[in-house]
Structure 1
């Protein structure tokens, strides 16, 4: 038989099989599979995707003492036909994989007994059966397909691998093969933990719900930065190592409901390595005196998901009655993080029982026993000269401070320590610690994981930002203005007094920046640019303060309506083809929604009224709309296409639908 060409898909398959063998997997080629109980894999038909004999053997081994009836009931529940969507089925089966199958059977005394049948031994990988099958043939309702490589754990097809020759584009493995397989043989993906696509030099991994752009590279085998000779080696050794695969499946997977759609989230390489470093720090909480470290992963790289992975793994794997106190310094961030935990299924208690309404409610929650508590750092405030009271002596409380580098954490750090003297503290941040932020290290410890902007761009976790300088006719000549303003607004949270301070210290520059004629030109330019971008996508207009955000909303609305009137005026002289184009443009413009997203403050209606502005309509929308404006803006199909902000939504807000930012 001739040897396969070195660049062929067959050669790559052989290379992958050899790698799995070095990781301790059994391997088997099923190209000439014979069916039947004594056949190659013990399958009766090619429509079966679970290797029943291997599953039965594994369950008997993992559940010593349970009768055969209990094992059979578990197998029947696990393999029964499910008519729900692929995503819902995968989610349902994932819960069984993770937590076992509850069965009820009669004992020898004819009494009913309920037990949980364990499907996988998560703690001892070698206590499970690992089998890699190549050329695995599966038939669906109409069509049959042959998968390149399937990784079975205890007879369950957890890993799907599609290979392409070196010279072929990897996207084809997704668009041409994987998409077809999910439609024609969906039962193969009911049990799937992860999908690997590779042409040898490029490899990516993703979950069954992931679009192509969310399939990610896996660049490091371990935290020492070890890599393979080619990317296929790196991804197989990094993910399909028995311990890594079970850890990823058990602790770095969750399902997230958004916009009515069920999304499966699989941890990425930087999250897996970083979170495990953080978990290790918790295991050494006594030695490090509660300073668990600083987790620096740049904005947009999934930092809030890392918080979910971190807390959920500790709750599941480490002994203790753990409570996590999630701290932020802005109301919108607190709301966003709470929603992320809730949508991921991590928070099971009602919102009113985990989110602190005020300082007294916070004290009550911390004296009680909750898995999660969410609060603003400002609720640890005390009167001048007062000492914050001790709320708990527990050593199984972990404080997670989001954007831990910001100055507020220095201010309230002592109150936190007084309240929770034996707690562990970990800081999550999207920016590096700079000179002058040594206090942050003193409170949290040194870096435990670094994933910077450059790495994130290279991995595709963060999209690159392309800057276009658009200069209005009115310009400023103070070259130091940016530095002067940054000194005041670096926290991106201006309260009423800080806004007045900004006006006082920069009264001349402020009035130039916010002059009506200047804003008018910018609003006109925003409308022109937004409609002429040549691509879809939503936009965010970032203003210097709340008042200017409302002014810009009013002015953009004015020019938007002028554009509609201009297009309507052209209809009478346009050709039939041109008329349809104009009507489409008019429909888009008239359907477009805009909103102002700014924080509230006391007496704000009077403050806005003094400047000739009305905040009430915007405040009502923020308070009352359901779904919320944040969900509408994230939904690419919702007509809320332009928002006007000054501090809210700038950080900690994940909106893939937003493609343009207007920063003035």
Structure 2
């Protein structure tokens, strides 16, 4: 029987390389790699996962005013051995160095003595100014075995993206079961710098973080807009996640590390969260410019990661928009208030103490907390019992959850009066129904819609089924 021509090496991998090449990634094969300063990748040996010479070049280019000794110190910090650490903890440490800069002490020629500076290993503001290299068939010597990932995407010499490809007749899950799991055990240092993993057989394509099990690998069906017809393909996956600007946005603004009972987990935004949050950001900026405060209604169904979307939104505002921002997180139930505060605490957006002390118990307490310039304040809608001004700042963003239940009536109007120059963004897990149209009057129109069917289709929400076998209809989870 003639072998199927659609093979991993000849078609899926070649198509991925060609696509990334068209997206202005430099591409090179390491199948016959030579080593040393004049070698293919300038690696010294097969155990290296960093392209040190490219990283050094990036440090020099991005930090032209510091001495060579500082460049070397930054390089030493990024490349130091983290094998004694849990790989996800090592990943968090390097992520923070990349995101916030590498702190170093350098001579201060103006005032004398030393000063602390943060050296950049990445230019977050201008993604195109960074070095993007896609390497195919990179050999990495592990603890016991030699591994060869299909594709590794390097940014400034650091392995951000690992892509594993399978024949169309092999489930994409095999890339996780047979390859990623093996790599994490044999070459854990590859994952100290990893942004995310992509598994594909050319048709089924999924992306996940280094700590995600297969059930938390998800499809990427739309590239730029929620209005695009959904398509599951390797092309949509790579254009949606590895386009230079989108890759940098995902890594900088849509990556979290959550402390769970099972340990530290890395969380990356799903497709609907990424598109929805960016929609909300645009709407919020429009509301600010037009001074009406209605940032919009963010409808993403229950179980689709709505609380994480709130964190992604707030963190990107703080990171990318100028302002002394404060966020007032408003719910209508104590348990929901505690749950959202815990989410913000678990991902490090608020500290342990702040998560406990920044719950406004009254309008007077809210006034006190806002005067104290806290980043995040949690409160209940029922605290807005009177129509009185609490704070007139224009850099307050009110994020409400389940806004349609109680927050479109008098309490919401009181809230608008209390914070007259704030912007209001409503999150809800269910659509507005007849009689709830006033929510739009208070918060604005939909900025994102991710309904129950979409969530079930994507595997983000477990489906519900109706059973009447016993004569008494019952709902159960699928």
Asked whether the two chains share a fold, i.e. TM above 0.5, the reply is yes
Aligned residue among 352, 362, 369 for 1:365: 369
- CA RMSD after TM alignment: 2.3
- 2:383 maps to 379
With over 3 angstroms needed to count, the CA separation of the structure-2 counterparts of 1:453 and 1:229, relative to structure 1, is closer
Aligned residue among 225, 243, 246 for 1:223: 225
1:414 Cα offset (Å): 1.7
Alignment of 1:28-427 (within 5 A): 28-82=28-82, 83-106=84-107, 111-223=113-225, 225-226=227-228, 231-284=233-286, 285-287=288-290, 289-348=292-351, 350-382=354-386, 388-427=387-426
1:114 Cα offset (Å): 2.2
Cα distance in 2, alignment partners of residues 339 and 37 from structure 1: 50
With over 3 angstroms needed to count, the CA separation of the structure-2 counterparts of 1:229 and 1:315, relative to structure 1, is closer
8 Å Cα contact 1:228-1:234 kept in structure 2: no
1:364 Cα offset (Å): 1.7
SS in 1 for 2:139: strand
8 Å Cα contact 1:221-1:227 kept in structure 2: no
1:9 Cα offset (Å): 3.7
Mean CA deviation greater in 308-317 or 352-361: 352-361
SS in 2 for 1:286: helix
With over 3 angstroms needed to count, the CA separation of the structure-2 counterparts of 1:397 and 1:200, relative to structure 1, is same
Question: Which deviations, in whole Å up to 9, do the C-alpha atoms of 1:384-408 show, x marking residues without a partner?
Answer: xxxx321111111011110011134
SS in 1 for 2:85: coil
**TM-score, length basis structure 1:** 0.68
Cα distance in 1, alignment partners of residues 333 and 435 from structure 2: 22
Which structure 1 residue ranges, 5 or more long, are not aligned?
A: 383-387, 476-481, 483-540, 543-658
Cα distance in 2, alignment partners of residues 25 and 58 from structure 1: 16
8 Å Cα contact 1:324-1:372 kept in structure 2: yes
1:459 Cα offset (Å): 0.5
Which structure 2 residue ranges, 5 or more long, are not aligned?
A: none
Cα distance in 1, alignment partners of residues 291 and 20 from structure 2: 38
- 1:14 maps to 14
8 Å Cα contact 2:294-2:443 kept in structure 1: yes
Cα distance in 2, alignment partners of residues 660 and 425 from structure 1: 34
8 Å Cα contact 2:37-2:43 kept in structure 1: yes
With over 3 angstroms needed to count, the CA separation of the structure-2 counterparts of 1:4 and 1:27, relative to structure 1, is farther
Runs of 4+ in 1 over 6 A off after TM superposition: 107-110, 227-230
With over 3 angstroms needed to count, the CA separation of the structure-2 counterparts of 1:269 and 1:660, relative to structure 1, is closer
Cα distance in 2, alignment partners of residues 361 and 264 from structure 1: 35
SS in 2 for 1:443: helix
8 Å Cα contact 1:377-1:409 kept in structure 2: no
SS in 2 for 1:405: helix
Size of the aligned set, in residue pairs, is 472
1:352 Cα offset (Å): 4.0
Mean CA deviation greater in 352-361 or 90-99: 352-361
Mean CA deviation greater in 435-444 or 366-375: 366-375
8 Å Cα contact 2:221-2:232 kept in structure 1: no
Which structure has more relative contact order (CA 8 Å, sep 6+)? It is: 2
Question: Which deviations, in whole Å up to 9, do the C-alpha atoms of 1:635-656 show, x marking residues without a partner?
Answer: xxxxxxxxxxxxxxxxxxxxxx
**TM-score, length basis structure 2:** 0.94
Mean CA deviation greater in 101-110 or 288-297: 101-110
8 Å Cα contact 1:9-1:166 kept in structure 2: no
